Amino acid sequence: MDIFKITGPVRLEGEITVGGSKNSALPIIAASLLTAGKSTLRGIPNLSDIAVMCKLLEDMGCKTVADNGDIAIDATTIYKPIGDYEIVRKMRASICILGPLLARCGKVEVSMPGGCAIGYRPVDIHLRGLQELGAKIELRNGYICATANGGLKGANIFLGGAFGSSVLATANVLCAATLARGKTVIEYASCEPEITDLANCLVKMGAKITGIGSPQLIINGVKELKPVEHTVIPDRIEAGTFMAAAAITKGNLKIKNCRTDHLMAVINKLRSINIAVEETQDGCEVCSSGNIEPTDITTLPYPGFPTDLQAQFMAVLCLAKGNSIITEKIFPDRFMHVAELSRMAANLRKEGPHIIISGVEKLIAAPVMASDLRASAALVVAALAAHGETIVNRVYHIDRGYEKIEEKLNAVGAKIQRQSV
């Protein structure tokens, strides 16, 4: 079990490069199941979640070879279209094999994802969307068992839920519809850049999709798809995490391989709290005077402010000159980091889906516990500015979504040690 020892406060300065997007790579790796043959995916980050997804595919009979950011996937043989509990319990995103396998094999069993630290996460929208395409679905011994005898059939599907669109439900239904007979219209589809990347990849495989990037996706089913070579988009959440790190440390970071067009809500928020953001050829430069203004943030589906940056920006606003309010509209209980930031002398108060943040002069180092991927990123961001040595426990959470984060941050002035305990 690794921990981080982080000494602060530091000032970050220099160039830092963003890796490929985890949340784009996962559904795209699953989409390779839609066709026989060998696909090559590039720019894939070296993360434990990616390794879990590859294990899932290998368990079914596929072959995967990872090499320096490329993954070759041969999905010719699928002798067991099953997502085993022992693998799915490690990563909820395993659910995105459901649509591709149903469309390709006409049957699939996937362990139902269980509880999650960020809150209640049902999969009803996934199941509803696939049932509208003609799938028969039942739950057996904790497994979602879906069949489509005679194949799937196109339909008009409303995919909205209580919290708006669903990213991975859109991915599942979009993939399934590519091989369904006839036309499918998905209303209230997720417009996240990761879904656009998936749709662009599917089009390269021969799928017929229009409305990409909009809440209405139109798919005309085809008989078969072909293998693909595709480079995934940069990780906007990793980029946003580095922006928060620059903001909280009075830093100056040149963030490379960053798509600023995917981060407009975040850049707008940074500028509103007195953080300078200059767009550059391959990214942006973030410069902080340390005089952070307070603000209100409400998380929303894309292009709104991403919930996956809520925790990191809460850490930044802990040092703002005044009171801020964060409202979490996607995962109303996604506040595991609040108690840990309070241990670092932050002044935080919870009121329903809101956190009231009263800015403090400084954060104080303390031993803290990571609980989920983005909460742990927020603790690292806070520790960079905190006075003293912070111990972040359960670093495995951060390794799920950030490739060698301590090396990247140390290269621009952080003092992070990884230790096994």
Q: Which residues are marked as active site?
A: 116
Pairing state of beta strands 229-231 and 38-42?
parallel
Of 308, 328, 399, 406, which one interacts with ligand EPZ (CB under 6 A)?
A: 308
Helix (H) or strand (E) holding 388: strand 388-393
- Site for ligand EPZ, residues 190 to 249, rule: CB under 6 A: 194
Nearer Cβ to ligand EPZ, position 99 or 251? Answer: 99
Which alpha helices (DSSP H) does 61-161 contain, by range? Answer: 85-88, 98-105, 124-132
Nearer Cβ to ligand EPZ, position 53 or 180? Answer: 53
Nearer Cβ to ligand EPZ, position 166 or 184? Answer: 166
Bridge partners of residue 219, in order along the sequence:
184, 209
Of 67, 141, 149, 162, which one interacts with ligand EPZ (CB under 6 A)?
A: 162
Cβ neighbours around 153 below 10 Å, total? 17
Of 41, 53, 56, 330, which one interacts with ligand EPZ (CB under 6 A)?
A: 330
Q: What letter represents residue 63's amino acid?
A: K
Question: x-or-dash pattern for ligand EPZ, window 274-303, by CB under 6 A?
Answer: ------------------------------
Contact call for residue 405 and ligand EPZ (CB under 6 A):
no
Which alpha helices (DSSP H) does 154-304 contain, by range? Answer: 167-177, 193-204, 236-248, 264-272
Of 28, 47, 155, 167, which one interacts with ligand EPZ (CB under 6 A)?
A: 167
Smallest gap from Cβ 3 to ligand EPZ, in A, equals 21
The window from 38-46, 146-154, 161-169, 412-420 that contacts ligand EPZ (CB under 6 A) reads 161-169
Q: What is the largest CA-CA distance in the chain?
A: 65
| SS3 state of residue 337 | helix
Structure-token match 């590039």, residue found: 42
Q: What letter represents residue 151's amino acid?
A: G
Contact call for residue 93 and ligand EPZ (CB under 6 A):
yes
Structure tokens at 321: 């000159």
Contact call for residue 188 and ligand EPZ (CB under 6 A):
no
Smallest gap from Cβ 97 to ligand EPZ, in A, equals 12
Smallest gap from Cβ 420 to ligand EPZ, in A, equals 24
Question: x-or-dash pattern for ligand EPZ, window 347-386, by CB under 6 A?
Answer: --------------------------xx------------
Nearer Cβ to ligand EPZ, position 143 or 365? Answer: 143
The window from 36-44, 60-68, 159-167, 315-323 that contacts ligand EPZ (CB under 6 A) reads 159-167
Nearest one of 379, 331, 327, 367 to 351, comparing CA atoms: 327
Contact call for residue 168 and ligand EPZ (CB under 6 A):
yes
| SS3 state of residue 241 | helix
Integer Cα distance of 357 and 279 in angstroms? 29
Number of residues that bind ligand EPZ (CB under 6 A): 25
- Site for ligand EPZ, residues 14 to 53, rule: CB under 6 A: 23, 26
Residues 6+ apart with CB under 8 A from 59: 80, 82, 84, 87
- Strand ranges, E, within 100-216: 107-111, 136-140, 143-147, 156-158, 183-187, 208-210
Contact call for residue 305 and ligand EPZ (CB under 6 A):
no
Integer Cα distance of 60 and 140 in angstroms? 19
The half-sphere exposure of 14 on its side-chain side, counting CA atoms within 13 A, is: 12
Contact call for residue 310 and ligand EPZ (CB under 6 A):
no
The DSSP code for 364 is B
Radius of gyration of the chain (CA): 21
The window from 114-122, 247-255, 363-371, 386-394 that contacts ligand EPZ (CB under 6 A) reads 114-122
Are 318 and 287 a contacting pair, CB within 8 Å? no
Smallest gap from Cβ 18 to ligand EPZ, in A, equals 14
Contact call for residue 161 and ligand EPZ (CB under 6 A):
yes
Which chain residues interact with ligand EPZ by CB under 6 A? 23, 26, 93, 120-126, 161-163, 166-169, 194, 307-308, 330-331, 373-374, 401
